Amino acid sequence: MQVIGEISTTNKKPVNLSPLIMLLSMSMGKDYYEDRKRHKEDDEENNTRYEISKDGKKFKKIISENINVGNIVKVPPFSKTFHFFTQDQQKPISPL
């Protein structure tokens, strides 16, 4: 609206354009940084190795992005990922 002569109070000079561009650039930079950080954390989580079993007997190590519904996941207590599992997801297996 500043460039419309009849209603402009700044003689058709867009004085608010510079602060607007600076603010948008800073916001874009912050969003880019956060998205890259989130992407890196997602990759790290998806490449975490777990021991899984499909039949409950033989365990093999795979990366977490390949875990499917119905797989039995062995998670050692006190591991850094232990807090990601809720109680209803944990079922103790007796060492028989």
Q: What is the DSSP letter of 87?
A: G
Q: For 67-77, what is each residue's pLDDT tens digit? A: 888 888 877 66
Q: What sign does the CA torsion over 38, 66, 55, 51 have?
A: negative
Q: Do 48 and 81 contact (CB within 8 A), yes or no?
A: yes
- Mean pLDDT over 54-67 rounds to 84
Q: Do 73 and 52 contact (CB within 8 A), yes or no?
A: yes
Q: What's residue 87's pLDDT? A: 47
Q: What's residue 23's pLDDT? A: 96
Query: Could you give the CA distance from residue 22 to residue 12 in angstroms, rounded to a whole number?
Result: 20
Question: pTM for this structure?
Answer: 0.53
Q: What sign does the CA torsion over 75, 78, 80, 83 have?
A: positive
Q: For 17-39, what is each residue's pLDDT tens digit? A: 888 899 999 999 999 999 999 99
At 6 the three-state DSSP class reads coil
